[in-house]
């Protein structure tokens, strides 16, 4: 009876893979066709004039293909925004610590994932606000105003973010990814490559988040052990310890104002 079900699963997986590959091929063909037709029409001067202004700067005008590529690049950056929030901000540490706090309390689904994610997102915006402001004032705003070239604006806008990543990454993590990427040892923290600073920062954030989560879970673990020992000594084996320990943990967490302490401590771990 197991072989037919296994074959059905394999056939289903292979069919889905072929379907995904077909969709990707069709999308690629459509994209190539659209780009080719756009370029041909633009060369024939049949494309209507299009002008898009962002912050007072013109990104596209007159059917220019180069300006269209700028718009495509802007849309590509926006599509990578979730990955940038996860890997280049303090969102990972906050979300992991809040999730481990919920696990230590023993409440499997309270608070919900949406609440934890929303709180982590707003805390990330509050902590990373000065960094984003520096990036905007240093590179993005002058570029939009036409006062700075594109390459120079990109370097100056990335510099504050890279400084934040390097500052909060451990040296051993940066050295690990320098070794993995076979990059030269930088003489100054500002010379650390961006593709090394990002994974080093993420690895450091995960390490710090688990350390904080362990310290939060330790007192709740002790309380669970005490409750379990008391119930065992009273021969109340049939009574689950979580029935007694959960109200005690919630009461202890509320008395010490746990959420306030955790959030304030997390914010103080960052130097911006």
pLDDT digit string, tens, across residues 223-247: 888 888 887 777 777 777 777 778 8
Selection from 72-81, 96-105, 185-194 with the highest mean pLDDT: 96-105
Report the predicted TM-score, pTM, of the whole model to 2 decimal places: 0.67
Query: What is the bridge-based pairing of β-strands 57-60 and 52-54?
Result: antiparallel
Instruction: Convert the pLDDT of each residue in 136-151 to its tens digit.
Output: 787 777 777 777 777 7
List of long-range contacts for 154-159, beta carbons under 8 Å, 24+ apart: 158/194, 159/135, 159/190
- Please enumerate in sequence order all residues whose Cβ is within 8 A of that of 228, keeping only pairs 6 or more positions apart, or say none: 241, 245
* Highest mean pLDDT: which range of 2-16, 40-54, 135-149: 135-149
Q: Are 198 and 178 in contact (CB under 8 A)?
A: no
CB 172 within 8 A of CB 181: no
CA distance 206 to 46: 54
The one-character DSSP state at 269 is T
Contact (CB, 8 A) for 94 and 65: no
**What count of residues does the chain have?**
272
Q: Quick one: pLDDT band at residue 74, thresholds 50, 70, 90?
A: low
């Amino acid at each position: 009876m197991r072989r037919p079900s296994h074959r059905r699963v394999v056939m289903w997986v292979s069919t889905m893979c072929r379907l995904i590959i077909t969709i990707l091929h069709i999308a690629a063909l459509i994209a190539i066709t659209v780009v080719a037709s756009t370029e041909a029409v633009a060369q024939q001067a049949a494309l209507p004039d299009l002008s898009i202004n962002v912050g007072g700067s013109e990104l596209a005008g007159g059917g220019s293909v180069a300006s269209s590529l700028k718009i495509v690049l802007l849309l590509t950056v926006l599509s990578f925004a979730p990955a940038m929030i996860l890997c280049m901000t303090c969102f990972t540490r906050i979300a992991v610590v809040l999730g481990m706090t919920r696990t230590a309390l023993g409440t499997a689904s309270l608070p919900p994932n949406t609440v934890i994610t929303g709180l982590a997102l707003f805390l990330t915006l509050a902590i990373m606000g000065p960094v984003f402001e520096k990036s905007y004032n240093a590179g993005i705003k002058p570029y939009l105003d036409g006062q700075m070239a594109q390459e120079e604006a990109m370097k100056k806008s990335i510099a504050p973010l890279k400084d934040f990543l390097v500052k909060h990454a451990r040296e051993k993590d940066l050295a690990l990814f320098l070794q993995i990427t076979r990059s030269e040892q930088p003489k100054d923290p500002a010379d650390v490559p961006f593709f090394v600073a990002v994974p080093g920062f993420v690895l450091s954030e995960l390490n710090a988040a688990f350390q904080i989560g362990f310290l939060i879970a330790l007192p709740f673990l002790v309380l669970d052990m005490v409750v379990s020992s008391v119930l065992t000594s009273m021969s109340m084996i049939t009574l689950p310890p979580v029935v007694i320990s959960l109200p005690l943990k919630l009461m202890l967490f509320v008395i010490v104002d746990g959420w306030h302490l955790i959030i304030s401590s997390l914010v103080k771990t960052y130097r911006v």
